[in-house]
Amino acid sequence: MNNTKSSTFNRIVWVDILRALAIFMVICIHCSDPFNVSPEARANPEFSFWGSLYGSLLRPCVPLFVMITGILLLPVKQTANVFYKKRLSRIFFPFLIWSVLYNLFPWITGLLGLHTEVISSVFAYAGADASQSFQSALQNILLIPFKFNVYTVPMWYLYMLIGLYLYMPVFSSWIEKATVKEKQFYLGLWFLTLFLPYLYYYFASDLFGLSSWNTFGTFYYFAGFNGYLLLGNYLKNHVKPLSLSKTLLIAVPLFVTGYLVTYFGFKSITSNPNCSETDMEMFFLYCSPNVLFMTIAFFLLVRKIQVKSERIISMLANISKCGLGIYVVHYFVVGFCYATADLFNVPVSIRIPVTAVFSFAISWAFVALFFRLIPKASKWIFG
């Protein structure tokens, strides 16, 4: 099977598929929060099982986003000033607008005379005693340049993405000059850094020069999401697509290995009802070898998908156009969709994907409608 590229729409269709899949997976993750966040939910065997099963399956979502960025934007073709103006402005205004709206929501519920339970039903990480005061909302808004909070959890990705955008023109200069072997060397060192969280957690926190006065260890300079940037670029440009049988031969063992480590690691740690949030996230970390294995498997398999229908290609292109908007909007929708699924007694086994399907559909329809009605303004609101 060949890589699919639409001459009509001049798009790399499998990348659009990858993006749509990543968006849906992110929404699924936030639909699984009620299953995994609280000790009470994890104490329920049925919730614990399905929360762990889906939660582990969905971890490649963010790495796939970053790999897509590496595929499409590396090497950077513009000057740094032009790149920053185009890329940072595209995400800055939606990031600011929706961060403000999320932080105003608790105050608005107070104005409407609603109970604070409404806040925790919309935002899984919010406590039952969430403040509804304008002062609290204003304080959170003033802190937007520095941190996200329980009402703006998905925005962590945009903070990270801004950092990657700032780094990319510098990184790009090296990528343009680097040989394939030099890129492989970088990726090899980056791969080693993916084991560091486990070494710090299970052995010692002061390895490789880390100390109370130094938080930048030996491998710090090769660690982080920049590895996924380079990996996306490397796989697209230096690894030719294999036959479907060879792709499955590589992707299936990678995925199974990564998934089993993620699932059983998460189950093991969360079996302790007193585990901290840091403990709980240990095997869910995006920059970990187990998640990398699953991410590569998804990437290789999606690259084999061939689409010929112009209607589907157009639909995928529209999802890509609305992608950032869907991302910033969906966290408002997820809580309501989950409550509706609960109200209609949707079986626990399918509650996460059912909630995600409706959350995705509503968010996409909302953003697409705005782009149709007020296209110019929508670019500022949704990116």
Whether 230 shows a pLDDT value over 90: the answer reads yes
Could you tell me the two tokens for 351?
């509650």
Q: How confident is the model at residue 46 (pLDDT cuts 50, 70, 90)?
A: confident
User: Tens digits of per-residue pLDDT, 242-269?
Assistant: 999 999 999 999 999 999 999 999 999 9
CA–CA distances in Å: residue 63 to residues 14, 53, 184, 231: 16, 19, 18, 10
CA distance 103 to 148: 10
- When pLDDT is averaged across residues 38-50 and rounded to a whole number, the result is 80
211: Cα separation from own chain's centroid: 30
* Token pair 């670019």: residue: 379
Nearest CA-CA partner of 294 in 265, 261, 270:
261
The CA distance from 30 to 39, in Å, is: 17
The answer to whether 299 and 18 have CB atoms below 8 angstroms apart is yes
Give the angle 215-216-220 at the CA atoms, nearest 5°: 135
pLDDT at 342 over 90: no
Residue 118 pLDDT exceeds 50: yes
Q: Cα(96)–Cα(84) distance, rounded to whole angstroms? A: 17
Q: Where are the domains of the chain?
A: 5-382
Q: Residue 10 — pLDDT band, cuts 50, 70, 90?
A: low
* C-beta of residue 283 within 8 angstroms of C-beta of residue 290: yes
CB 30 within 8 A of CB 124: yes
Cα end-to-end distance, the chain, whole Å = 34
Q: How many angstroms separate the CA atoms of 112 and 122, rounded? A: 15
Residue indicated by tokens 């000059």:
177
pLDDT per residue as tens digits for the range 128-155: 788 999 999 999 999 999 999 999 999 9
Structure tokens at 111: 């104005």
Of 312, 308, 323, residue with least CA distance to 5: 308
The residue to which tokens 């394939």 are assigned: 180
DSSP 12: E
Residue 28 has pLDDT above 80, yes or no: yes
Q: Which of 39-48, 269-278, 319-328 has the lowest mean pLDDT?
A: 39-48
For the entire predicted model, the pTM comes to 0.93
pLDDT digits (tens, 9 = 90+) for 315-328: 999 999 999 999 99
Please state, in angstroms and rounded to a whole number, the distance separating the CA atoms of residues 154 and 94: 13
pLDDT at 1 exceeding the cut of 70: no
Pick 343 or 4 by higher pLDDT: 343
User: What distance lies between CA 154 and its chain's CA centroid?
Assistant: 8
- Tell me the mean pLDDT in the region 323-343: 92
